Structure 1
Amino acid sequence: MSDNLPNFSELTKIVGDDKSFMLRVVQPGLAGLMDGSVSTLAPIFATAFATHNSHTVFLIGAAAAVGAGISMAFSEGLSDDGELTGRGNPVFRGLVTGGMTFLGGFLHTLPFLIPNVHTALIWAYLVVGIELVVIALIRHKYFKTSFALSVLQVIVGGGLVFAAGVIIGQS
């Protein structure tokens, strides 16, 4: 396993080279953050509206975040070996993507540790909003996307998934 992970000098080189950093850290990390932040909205909010039970929502959210993180880690790690595309070490990219996917899904799960589901929902909405703004800021900074357009895009994407969760949860 250690042969597949970059050592400290390789990590320093990745961070020091803008193109390498973009291909090996920012892009897989952003893909993971976006997937984790958005893909877990439907199961979390569907569970909240269907059960009105914070503990159950927390369990579903944690499971969704862990499952999405594992799935995205394998997806990124197995997508290419990095030789043809220049995207670098697949294990490293998989760990970055999987870790950020988990983080994106788990952050808006944490409010459901609050026993009152209505209070937890308010905090979860706030966390989701912050996640979407952070995604827009990363896209703006590293991919030179207009901040306003990026905010609009991530809100539309997140809104569609959230709406699906609400509709299903109220069925």
Structure 2
Amino acid sequence: MKAFAELTEREILAVAIAGEEEDSRIYLAFAEDLAERYPDSAKVFTEMAEQEKGHRHLLLKLYEQRFGPNLPPIRRQDVKGFIRRRPIWLTRNLALDTIRKEAETMEFEAERFYAKAAEQTTDTGVRRLLSDLAEIEKGHEQLAAKLSETILTAGVRGEEDKTRRRMFVLQYVQPGLAGLMDGSVSTLAPLFAAAFATHQNWQTFLVGLAASIGAGISMGFAEALSDDGSMTGRGSPWLRGGICGLMTTVGGLGHTLPYLVPDSWANAFWIATAIAGFVVFIELWAIAYIRARYMDTPFLQAVFQIVLGGVIVLAVGILIGGA
């Protein structure tokens, strides 16, 4: 995977051409999905798809003039910094609000890409076209406003969410949630395996502390290296990595700290284990709520994925430790 700064002008144009073609198809898929339920919104997406086709034609014409007919096989997923989006356009009967949010993200990313690409190119003609396309993408916000009006009329929502708020979620909530999920779930097995193998609180605490800090370091680096933020506007990779690593450590320490109960207490092990089990229950339900609240995941689905998964990992740790 290449960093955006490493792309040549030829590769920048190729990524732009592929991106416009993909976005056009996505908008047409949205239009087809909404045609019967929200015909006005479907027309908006059809119009947006036609505009993306026009952008692709301009980019392809310029590319052929500069570099010939052969496009290098590079797409957005081959470049660091683009938002990793779920292919929700493959799902039918999506909520209009969900589709609108996806369109806003796509528009924001396209605008940022063209602005950054224009800064990086040296050819005057290429720079002019990319700058013009950046301005055109800004104009798509007016089309998004039409979608918001449709949503208000349909009574689906009372207030429009802004794209910048969604970027805030991508910058802070998403890496923090990923870390919290990993820290809360991945440390369950080693912690409770150590607990039931030793029945010693202090040794269990040391295992949990090591697992939490180790997982935090690993997740922090993984998040920082996954996306340099140059295209997505997700901010500094090291800031996101720090947030992810910190929340991973916090997630693991939550059910590790109860094992600081002194071994000298009567029934110290069972007291610490009972507290840790209660903390795990709170952690898993909190994660499920955050996923449902910020990540557009149905609550019951989030509960099934997180709570059930956490219980299975917890049971594995107890079984191994008690073997």
Query: Does residue 196 of structure 2 align to residue 44 of structure 1?
Result: no
What is the TM-score of this pair, normalised by structure 1? 0.87
Secondary structure of the 1:17 match is helix
Query: Does residue 248 of structure 2 align to residue 101 of structure 1?
Result: yes
Secondary structure of the 1:55 match is helix
Match of 1:65 in 2: 212
Secondary structure of the 1:87 match is coil
2:281 to 129, 135, 148: 129
Match of 2:295 in 1: 143
What is the TM-score of this pair, normalised by structure 2? 0.47
Could you report, residue by residue, the CA deviation over 1:62-103 in whole angstroms, capped at 9, with x for unpaired residues? 111111111111111111211244432101100110010000
Question: By how many angstroms is 1:146 displaced?
Answer: 2.2
Question: By how many angstroms is 1:148 displaced?
Answer: 2.4
C-alpha distance in 1 between matches for 2:296 and 2:222: 26
Q: Counterpart amino acid of 1:128?
A: V
Match of 1:78 in 2: 225
Structure 1 runs of 4+ off > 6 angstroms?
none
Could you report, residue by residue, the CA deviation over 1:7-56 in whole angstroms, capped at 9, with x for unpaired residues? xxxxxxxxx93122111101100000000000000010000010000000
Larger radius of gyration: 2
Q: Counterpart amino acid of 1:164?
A: V
Match of 1:165 in 2: 317
Higher RCO structure, 1 or 2 (CA under 8 Å, sep 6+)? 1
**More displaced stretch, 93-102 vs 112-121:** 112-121
C-alpha distance in 1 between matches for 2:189 and 2:282: 17
**More displaced stretch, 69-78 vs 32-41:** 69-78
2:180 to 33, 36, 47: 33
**More displaced stretch, 71-80 vs 94-103:** 71-80
Percent identity between the two aligned chains: 55
Contact 2:288–2:307 (Cα < 8 Å) also in 1: no
C-alpha distance in 2 between matches for 1:147 and 1:111: 29
2:258 to 107, 111, 126: 111
C-alpha distance in 1 between matches for 2:281 and 2:189: 15
Match of 2:203 in 1: 56
**More displaced stretch, 122-131 vs 140-149:** 140-149
Match of 1:11 in 2: none
Unaligned runs of 5+ in 2: 1-162, 263-267
C-alpha distance in 1 between matches for 2:305 and 2:241: 25
Secondary structure of the 2:309 match is helix
Match of 1:18 in 2: 165
C-alpha distance in 2 between matches for 1:50 and 1:40: 15
Tell me the C-alpha RMSD between the 2 structures: 1.4
C-alpha distance in 1 between matches for 2:257 and 2:219: 21
**More displaced stretch, 17-26 vs 33-42:** 17-26
C-alpha distance in 2 between matches for 1:146 and 1:84: 28
Unaligned runs of 5+ in 1: 1-15
